Structures are given as C-alpha cells and as structure tokens.
Amino acid sequence: MPNRAFTFTAIGEVQSCFKEKFGIPRQPGLAPSARARILIYPEFAREEAFAGIEGCSHLWLQFVFHANDATWRPKVRPPRLGGNKTLGVFATRSPNRPNPIGLSVVTFLGLTKDDAGFFVEIGGVDFLDGTPILDIKPYVPYADAIFDARNTVAPEAPQLLPVLFSSEAAEFCVGENQRHASKSPLENLIREVLQQDPRPQYQAVDSGRIYGMRLWNLNVRWCYRENAELTGTEIYVMTIAPVAD
C-alpha cells in the first residue's frame, strides 16, 4: 500500500485584519482593502526563494483551517445557501474537509523586512489572524483563469447591500486614516466587508439587533435598516472604537 500520511510544516503565519471568524468574506478577492501580511518563519525567510515573485500580480496560498471547528463532515450547510440546503463537502470550499487545507488567491503587494521579520504583503484576503501558511505559489493566468468554467452551486459573488456610516463613525475613519496613512482608507475596508452581509442568510432583518466584528484593533458595530427609497435593506455603521485590551 502506498504511503498515505504526510506531515508538513508551516512556512509562516498570517497577520490579518480579521481577528475573529464572523465577518470574514466567504471567498478571497471580495474585499480588496482587506490586507494582511505573512510572517515567514526564519528558516524559510530567504530572499532568494522569492526571486521573481514581483512579476506576479496574484498568489495562491495553501493554508490550514486552524480554528477548532474544522472537523470532517461529509455533508455541509453553506451559509450562503441559507443554511438549510446541504451539499457534499467536496462540492464546497467549506473547512469541514478530511484534510483542512484551504486555498485562496490574493493580490501580491510586496516583500518587506523589518525588526519583526520577513513579510509577504497581501491584499483581498479571507484569512483569520494566525492562519498557518503551507505554501505560496504564483497565479499562472493561462492555466488558472478558466473563462468558461461553470459552477452552479456558487454561480456568482454575493449580492451587495448599501453601507451607510453614522457621522460619529465617519469622523472616526477620518482620524484613523490620518494616523495610518499607509493603510487603505478604513471606510473602504469596512464597506467592502459589510456590504457582503456577514449574517447567515437565514437570519431575517431585526432592526433592533446590533452586530459587531473586530477589524485590526477596532470594534465595528452596525445594524440593519429597511430603506424605503432603495426598497431594500441597508447596513448602518453605528460606532467604531478601539478594542479595550
């Protein structure tokens, strides 16, 4: 019988804007302002191993679903399908796989080196903070971009909701952008993440309920409102505040 067990070692770990699972986009690329950096562990932090990577606009990351709930289940209920339709796990990108290895394409933003280590800077991520990275590969457009591919299970990106900011939240963003001029504007990150509607799809709008998620070191709180003019639901960002440590 051939060898069936293989042991791999993480080459690095992600430092991500997403500090908890709730709110993470369900695929990469949906929130271009969602930045992260991969800390490459010292034994792999050799610049020569990355020579030529600047010619790549996008990278594939193979990573480990390291949250505790990534247990193998033959059937899963994808949240996008309303939580009441089941699919085989191999027809989905769910973490509940026999081998909890994830696959995401991200934008490559550069290599950086500072006192904290050697980093690969990336954008459009859907990684939980601390995600172990097994491999980094270039996106090869002629092989990977299949224009006529069809997937009836996940045919299109999620519908987007309008996102409005309270004046308090908008002012907080202005200050934050001035303090961190090198980052994407905070309101872009919040809009891109929330407009996909992080709620499980089976939850009805409850205008009394306040939701929250953490982005970097900030707590973002929002609610849902019915907007008569738009004849639909809108997201209203109420407050943004630093996390009390």
Give the binding range for a copy of itself (CB under 8 A) out of 2-10, 168-176, 194-202, 226-234: 2-10
DSSP 8-state assignment for residue 98: S
Question: Does residue 139 touch a copy of itself according to CB under 8 A?
Answer: yes
Give the binding range for a copy of itself (CB under 8 A) out of 3-11, 163-171, 208-216, 230-238: 3-11
Binding-site member from 35, 77, 97, 191 for a copy of itself (CB under 8 A): 97
Count of beta carbons in the 10 Å neighbourhood of residue 68: 6
User: Shortest distance, CB of residue 186 to a copy of itself, whole angstroms?
Assistant: 24
Q: Which CB sits closer to a copy of itself, 48 or 229?
A: 48
* Residues 51-70, interacting with a copy of itself (CB under 8 A): 51-53, 55-58, 60, 62, 64, 66
User: Shortest distance, CB of residue 77 to a copy of itself, whole angstroms?
Assistant: 12
Q: Which CB sits closer to a copy of itself, 41 or 205?
A: 41
> What torsion, rounded to 10 degrees, do the Cα atoms 115, 118, 124, 127 define?
-90
Binding-site member from 21, 49, 174, 232 for a copy of itself (CB under 8 A): 49
Binding-site member from 149, 181, 204, 244 for a copy of itself (CB under 8 A): 149
* Residues 67-86, interacting with a copy of itself (CB under 8 A): 74-75, 86
SS3 (DSSP) at 18: strand
Count of beta carbons in the 10 Å neighbourhood of residue 126: 23
User: Shortest distance, CB of residue 109 to a copy of itself, whole angstroms?
Assistant: 14
Cα(65)–Cα(73) distance, rounded to whole angstroms? 14
Token readout for 168 is 């308090």
* Residues 27-46, interacting with a copy of itself (CB under 8 A): 27-30, 41, 44, 46
Taking the mean position of all CA atoms in its chain, how far away is CA 183? 16
Give the binding range for a copy of itself (CB under 8 A) out of 9-17, 200-208, 221-229, 233-241: 9-17
Token readout for 2 is 């051939």
Question: Does residue 209 touch a copy of itself according to CB under 8 A?
Answer: no
Token readout for 203 is 């939850």
Count of beta carbons in the 10 Å neighbourhood of residue 174: 11
Cα(242)–Cα(214) distance, rounded to whole angstroms? 9
Question: Does residue 134 touch a copy of itself according to CB under 8 A?
Answer: yes
For residues 25 and 5, the answer to whether their CB atoms sit within 8 Å is no
Token readout for 71 is 């247990």
Q: Which CB sits closer to a copy of itself, 43 or 114?
A: 43
User: Shortest distance, CB of residue 35 to a copy of itself, whole angstroms?
Assistant: 18
Question: Does residue 179 touch a copy of itself according to CB under 8 A?
Answer: no
Looking at residue 209, its amino acid is R
For residues 200 and 232, the answer to whether their CB atoms sit within 8 Å is no
